[in-house]
């Protein structure tokens, strides 16, 4: 019950309701990338969206930040609908308050612009500085906060290492002073040795500024300690949402099981003995009424129908007794 109570106390920052994103290649050929997605993100938490490549997690992120059009459903940010048609003023408000950290630091910086321009691009667009000296001071501070040096301002992105570039990407987002940050696999293109550096940096900003993160990842091991709540997405559909310790303790949906299984074990004997679960929807028993994302325990949602609910109840009771 405690989970539920703290959830209710928390302020809702973003809520996604019945979101659907469709790509129309032609009139006949339509592809539903996101199907009926529902989740809420509370202020100050780190919400992770985990799924395999092509599952629609980046599409959800891009729909929130208005890079992709939505075909149905609502995205509510601070009580305001932000998908669909918006006035220029509201668009600016969304851009000011929601920022994104991109996956590939090599591709997400303009190679023909100096770091100075890359970092101050948002300042120019929103006139967030009084004069040239103020802008320079802001850029210096932003670079300093991510551990880069003022002398880097006149350099070009190709002169930096992957980790440094990703920090430039973070500085560029942070200088806008947003409330909500979408991090689209920010560490998956980085060397393992500097992943922790970037995660620590993100945590530092979260503590200092009370930021809210939506963290997208393709494997669960990364988000285990970083995220407060995890949503598992498969084939455009959210199959399980739970606080991260609950998800690791009581995984219910078979797809979550197979994702957990995919995390490699450091012990070679356990790793060898591990039985791989490959999730195949066509082999599942899908009989019964149409499944929906339902709450099985407070704060723990699973995509299921009533028949599956009974099965999961039994599994849960069994696990809780242990």
Partner 1 sequence: MSTLQDDRFTFQRAEDTASEHIAAPRYSYWKSVFRKFFSSKLAIAMLILAGTIILLSIFQPMISGYSPRITPNINRPEMKYIRPNSTYWFGTDDKGNSLFDAVWAGTRSSLIVAFAATAISTIVGVAVGMWWGFSKKVDVIMIEVYNVIANIPTLLIAMILVYAIGSGMGSLIFALSVTSWIGTAYFIRVQVMIIRDREYNLASRCLGTPTWKIITHNVLPYLISVIMTIISRDVPGFISYEVFLSMVGVGLNRDIPSLGQMIRDYSPYLISTPYLFWIPVAVSAVISVSLYIVGQTLADASDPRTHMV
Q: Give the pair of three-digit tokens for residue 42.
A: 């509370």
Candidate list 32, 43, 78, 96; residue touching partner 1; CB under 8 A: 96
Candidate list 18, 30, 92, 284; residue touching partner 1; CB under 8 A: 92
Candidate list 46, 99, 166, 212; residue touching partner 1; CB under 8 A: 99
Dihedral of CA atoms 239, 243, 249, 255 in degrees, nearest 10, equals 10
How big is the CA angle at 45 (ends 1 and 192), to the nearest 5 degrees? Answer: 120
Q: Considering only 34-42, 100-108, 218-226, 246-254, which stretch makes contact with partner 1 by CB under 8 A?
A: 100-108
Q: How far is the CB of 219 from partner 1 (least distance, A)?
A: 21
Q: Which CB, 154 or 321, lies closer to partner 1?
A: 154
As a whole number of angstroms, the distance between CA 123 and CA 120 comes to 5
Q: Is 31 one of the binding residues for partner 1 (CB under 8 A)?
A: no
Candidate list 5, 90, 111, 280; residue touching partner 1; CB under 8 A: 111
Phi, psi angles (nearest 5°) of residue 73:
90, 175
As a whole number of angstroms, the distance between CA 221 and CA 184 comes to 16
Q: Is 150 one of the binding residues for partner 1 (CB under 8 A)?
A: no
Q: Is 23 one of the binding residues for partner 1 (CB under 8 A)?
A: no
Q: Give the pair of three-digit tokens for residue 147.
A: 């551990």
Phi, psi angles (nearest 5°) of residue 70:
-100, 150
Sign of torsion over alpha carbons 51, 215, 92, 179: positive
Residues that bind partner 1 (CB under 8 A): 62, 65, 67, 91-92, 95-96, 99-100, 102-104, 107-113, 117, 121-122, 125-126, 147-149, 151-152, 154-156, 158-160, 164, 169, 172, 176
């Amino acid at each position: 019950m405690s989970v539920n109570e703290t959830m209710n106390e928390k302020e809702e920052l973003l809520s996604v309701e019945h979101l659907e994103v469709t790509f129309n290649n032609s009139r006949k050929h339509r592809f539903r990338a996101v199907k009926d997605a529902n989740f809420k993100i509370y202020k100050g938490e780190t919400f992770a969206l985990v799924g395999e490549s092509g599952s629609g997690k980046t599409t959800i992120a891009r729909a929130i930040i208005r890079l992709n059009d939505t075909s149905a459903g609502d995205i509510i940010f601070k009580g305001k609908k932000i998908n669909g048609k918006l006035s220029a003023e509201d668009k600016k408000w969304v851009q000011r308050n929601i920022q994104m950290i991109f996956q590939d630091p090599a591709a997400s910086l303009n190679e023909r612009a100096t770091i100075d321009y890359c970092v101050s691009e948002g300042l120019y667009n929103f006139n967030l500085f009084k004069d040239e000296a103020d802008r320079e001071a802001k850029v210096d501070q932003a670079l300093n906060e991510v551990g880069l040096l003022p002398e880097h301002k006149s350099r070009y992105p190709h002169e930096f290492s992957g980790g440094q570039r990703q920090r430039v990407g973070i500085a560029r987002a942070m200088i806008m002073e947003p409330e909500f940050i979408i991090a689209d696999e920010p560490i998956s293109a980085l060397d393992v040795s500097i992943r922790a550096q970037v995660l620590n940096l993100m945590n530092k900003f979260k503590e200092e500024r009370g930021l809210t993160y939506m963290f997208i990842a393709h494997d669960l091991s990364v988000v285990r300690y970083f995220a407060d709540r995890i949503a598992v997405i498969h084939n455009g559909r959210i199959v399980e949402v739970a606080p991260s310790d609950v998800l690791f303790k009581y995984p219910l949906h078979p797809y979550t099981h197979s994702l957990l299984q995919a995390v490699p074990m450091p012990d070679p004997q356990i790793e060898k003995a591990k039985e791989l679960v490959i999730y195949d929807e066509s082999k599942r028993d899908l009989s019964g009424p149409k499944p929906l994302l339902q709450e099985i325990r407070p704060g723990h949602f699973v995509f299921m129908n009533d028949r599956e609910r009974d099965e999961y109840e039994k599994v849960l009771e069994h696990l809780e007794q242990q």
